[in-house]
Amino acid sequence: MKQSLCCIFLLGISICACVTATKEDTQLAEAIQIQGEAFLMQGDYTAALSRLLEARKMRPEDPYILNSLGLAYMGKNRDDLAIPVFKTARALKPDYTEALNNLGAAHLRQKEWDLAIKAFKDVLEDLLYPTPQFPLSNLGRAYLEKQDYMQAETYFSQALDLSPGFVTAAHGLSVVFLETGRENDAIEFLTARLMENPESALLHADLARAYEAKGWTNEARQSWQNVLHYAQKNSELKKTAAKRLSALD
């Protein structure tokens, strides 16, 4: 559970680019950006990074290219490089809330909880942001990592109010219940959620842990069996379920 690029250098490049940019350069940069973002969608982060770095050379002050570049860095597990890129995108376009949300996500992955919290709270200031359940759930995660369970429960619950089928938030709230010794609340909550989303291996695993905490071995065994059935092949969750079933036999 609990579970840098130099801005001055970039600015220098952008001054030169503004002087020499042509319509053809802009169109080429857009085409390369589209290619890079297509690779992002496919999960080919190396190819995406190559294309987006090329696009940034052509249009260094384009916040959308920078945002996609930051996502490519995150895909390569280089959140340390993604953070300054998202910051630059936000500086170039102060109302670019998506870049701010991605900045918060990068801080979260870097375990910089307070910086992540600030970013996500700033995202929620944008009343037009279309998916507030994501920053709300991420706030819950950050507070959970800080062991501030009251705040974590508040934000996970708010995320679920907006999106009742949001498994990540449901998992987060389940962990809050388990971490605070509220196994009965976890069982009641997860039983209801699994009626709506019966194929969620993650929620079945949370329910199995709640049953184990209660000492209900038969129920725990059945829930781990459900995890084995629904979890992706070779996933860590599937391996965990196999280990727990072996331990319970």
pLDDT band of residue 154 (cuts 50, 70, 90) is very high
pLDDT band of residue 48 (cuts 50, 70, 90) is very high
In this predicted structure, the answer to whether residue 1 has a pLDDT above a threshold of 80 is: no
Element at 128 (helix H, strand E): none
Closest residue by Cα to residue 56 from 80, 92, 104, 97: 92
Range of the domain at 40: 4-94
pLDDT band of residue 222 (cuts 50, 70, 90) is very high
pLDDT of 12 reads: 28
Q: Measured between alpha carbons, how far is 32 from 27 in angstroms, rounded to an integer?
A: 9
Average pLDDT over every residue of 79-98: 98
Residue 50 lies in a domain: yes
Neighbour-count burial of 162, counting CB atoms closer than 10 A to its CB (0-12 exposed, 13-18 middle, 19+ buried): middle
Average pLDDT over every residue of 230-240: 96
Percent of the chain with pLDDT over 90: 88
pLDDT of 215 reads: 97
For the chain, the domain total comes to 1
Residue 206 lies in a domain: no
Residue 135 lies in a domain: no
Residue 203 lies in a domain: no
140 neighbors 152 (Cβ within 8 angstroms): yes
**Contact residues for 6 (Cβ-Cβ < 8 A; gap 6+):** none
Closest residue by Cα to residue 183 from 159, 151, 215: 215
In this predicted structure, the answer to whether residue 188 has a pLDDT above a threshold of 70 is: yes
In this predicted structure, the answer to whether residue 11 has a pLDDT above a threshold of 60 is: no
pLDDT of 19 reads: 37
In this predicted structure, the answer to whether residue 9 has a pLDDT above a threshold of 50 is: no
- Cβ neighbours around 236 below 10 Å, total: 9
pLDDT of 26 reads: 82
Q: Measured between alpha carbons, how far is 138 from 136 in angstroms, rounded to an integer?
A: 5
In this predicted structure, the answer to whether residue 8 has a pLDDT above a threshold of 80 is: no
pLDDT band of residue 2 (cuts 50, 70, 90) is very low
pLDDT of 236 reads: 96
Q: Measured between alpha carbons, how far is 212 from 240 in angstroms, rounded to an integer?
A: 14
Q: Tell me, what CATH number does 66's domain have?
A: 1.25.40.10
Reported as a single tens digit per residue, the pLDDT across 56-86 is 999 999 999 999 999 999 999 999 999 999 9
Q: Which two tokens stand for residue 128?
A: 């037009």
pLDDT of 6 reads: 25
Element at 133 (helix H, strand E): helix 133-145
Q: Measured between alpha carbons, how far is 204 from 193 in angstroms, rounded to an integer?
A: 10
Closest residue by Cα to residue 36 from 12, 57, 22: 57
Average pLDDT over every residue of 42-47: 97
Closest residue by Cα to residue 66 from 46, 49, 89, 95: 89
Average pLDDT, the chain: 91
In this predicted structure, the answer to whether residue 125 has a pLDDT above a threshold of 60 is: yes
Q: What is the 3-state secondary structure (H, E, C) of 42-79?
A: HCCHHHHHHHHHHHHHHCCCCHHHHHHHHHHHHHCCCH
CA dihedral 184, 185, 188, 189 (to 10 degrees): -150
pLDDT band of residue 24 (cuts 50, 70, 90) is confident
Average pLDDT over every residue of 182-207: 97
